[in-house]
Amino acid sequence: MFRLRKRKTMLRRFASFILAIFFLTVISGSDGILQAGQPLSLQPGDEYGGGVVGYILQPNDPGFVAGEQHGLVISRGTLSYAKVYGKNPPDISDYSFTDANTVKFKYRWSTSVTEDSLSVHYAFKPVGTSTAFGTGRENTRAILAVYPKSLYKYTAAALCDDYSVTLDGLTYDDWYLPSIDELERLAKHQDVLDSFAINNVIWSSSEDSPAGAWNYYLFRNHADIRDNVNKSGSSSVFAVRNF
């Protein structure tokens, strides 16, 4: 009888251990996605997932799941080369480099080569991106396929893709350059965005034409606008990840 009772006790402890591991895995999956079981308590402005909650998915948004909470986390402030890669000296031979990288922390969407359409470094190659909400990650991958980080490490997409944050032993490294529709959702909560971004221009990962991509202009009076900007131009960069 004693052995049977001891065996049952060990089985209960083992079952409790397995359930605990399962619960922790579901709650904090390695992909950073909030799963069933997470309390529905996050609000824009809350620190979470390596950044700040910028937007909570609504019923008509792609990825919305009733009874669960998902959305977008935005980086704490605009990105800079030093923030992503450390204080390394700039490589001025890189065709994506611009003096604005180090002076104003602004970055190109592509490269500086605008005249020679036959050049492998040509700034106005069509990439095939989308403006839609929920497409920023795919857009970023498409940009990097045409302008790879091995050749162009100063592009907005490269910075976002290489951005990484480690907090409390967890590393968040699945950031991307948001689409223009994602930026518009984030702009609804301007207080969440870094003050540097207000009255500034932010890159999206969405093209408007082979030569241009959408920027989002953030103003203090919330009279925000989206506009087409030359891909070789320079703008500020926010990184985004899903939760």
Q: Is residue 99 a part of any domain in this protein? A: yes
Whether pLDDT at 17 is above 50: no
- Which of 119-123, 167-171, 216-220 shows the lowest mean pLDDT across its residues? 216-220
**Domain tally, the chain:** 1
- The residue with tokens 């960069």 is 237
Q: Which pLDDT value is given to residue 214?
A: 96
Q: Record the pTM.
A: 0.80
* Range of the structural domain that residue 85 is part of: 76-242
**What's the length of the chain?**
243
Q: What is the pLDDT of residues 219-240, one digit of tens each?
A: 655 556 788 899 999 999 999 9
